[in-house]
């Protein structure tokens, strides 16, 4: 098992652990990577991140999640409910979770800028190879363009030291021109959306940018979330948005 994990860590891809999703993506996300996962509320961003957290942990990587969306107990429970059990990894320190929920704080441009600076220094300091931020929307929408692009450039530079960063964003809350510049700095851009099919809601993933050996840019696939399988790819063809 240890030899298998070592081999997986040497792989050029970060797998999700979902065989069909990894197959369709040509092996997973390229590694190291700076990836943006974009989507509106309830489009599946957090579940998508959780799937890749589990995949990274199963390869033996150290993982860190910065979350503005939930607490540690709720996160571990949510993941267990969709068969993504990571509590043991959390207990043993392989999975680090940092909630950024500061109640009662009066956020100003100055304070948000300082948080971004502190966050970058923290990400460079920790030993985790795979870093997820879910979500960066509030911080990216509360500071000026130069501060956001400076943070993204710094995060992009972390990949030169072997770290991978996957960020989630709600693009509708961010200036369109700024978001275009943010995407230009990333290796991969994945857009999640909700569609209806046969009277039911399904989630759809569009890969609009993918910098890697297999280059699955233009890939569109649909999925749903189940308790038994977590993220389940569906055999349904959906037109690109």
Q: What is the pLDDT of residue 183?
A: 94
Q: Is the pTM of this model over 0.75?
A: yes
Read off the DSSP letter of residue 121: H
> What percent of the chain is helix, strand and coil (3-state, nearest 5)?
40, 25, 35
3-state secondary structure of 66: strand
Residue 215, pLDDT score: 55
189 phi and psi angles, rounded to 5 deg: -130, 115
Cα 145 to the center of its chain, rounded Å:
22
Identify the pLDDT of residue 241.
Answer: 65
pLDDT at 219 (0 to 100): 86
Output the pLDDT for position 102.
65
Residue 238: what pLDDT?
72
Mean pLDDT by 10 residues, the chain (241 residues): 54 92 92 95 94 97 95 96 96 95 75 90 94 92 91 93 95 90 94 90 92 71 87 81 65
Domains and CATH numbers, the chain: 2-191 (3.40.50.300)
State how far the alpha carbon of 186 is from the alpha carbons of 53, 74, 117, 145, in Å.
Answer: 19, 30, 19, 16
State residue 197's pLDDT score: 85
């Amino acid at each position: 098992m240890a030899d298998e994990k070592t081999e997986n860590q040497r792989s050029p891809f970060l797998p999700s652990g979902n065989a069909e999703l990894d197959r369709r993506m040509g092996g997973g996300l390229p590694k190291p990577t700076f990836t943006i996962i974009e989507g509106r509320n309830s489009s599946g961003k957090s579940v998508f991140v959780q799937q890749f957290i589990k995949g990274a942990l199963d390869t033996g990587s150290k993982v860190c999640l910065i979350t503005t969306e939930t607490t540690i107990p709720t996160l571990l429970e949510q993941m267990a409910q969709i068969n993504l059990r990571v509590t043991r990894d959390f207990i043993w320190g392989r999975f680090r979770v940092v909630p950024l929920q500061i109640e009662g704080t009066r956020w100003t441009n100055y304070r948000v800028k300082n948080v971004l600076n502190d966050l970058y220094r923290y990400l460079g300091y920790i030993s985790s190879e795979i870093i997820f931020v879910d979500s960066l929307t509030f911080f990216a929408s509360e500071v000026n363009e130069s501060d956001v692009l400076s943070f993204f450039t710094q995060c992009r530079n972390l990949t030169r030291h072997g770290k991978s960063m996957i960020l989630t964003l709600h693009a509708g809350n961010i200036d369109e021109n700024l978001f275009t510049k943010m995407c230009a700095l990333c290796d991969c851009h994945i857009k999640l959306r909700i569609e209806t099919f046969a009277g039911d809601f399904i989630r759809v993933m569009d890969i609009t940018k993918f910098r890697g050996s297999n280059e699955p840019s233009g890939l569109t696939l649909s999925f749903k979330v189940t308790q038994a399988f977590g993220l389940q790819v569906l055999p349904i063809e959906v037109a690109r948005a």
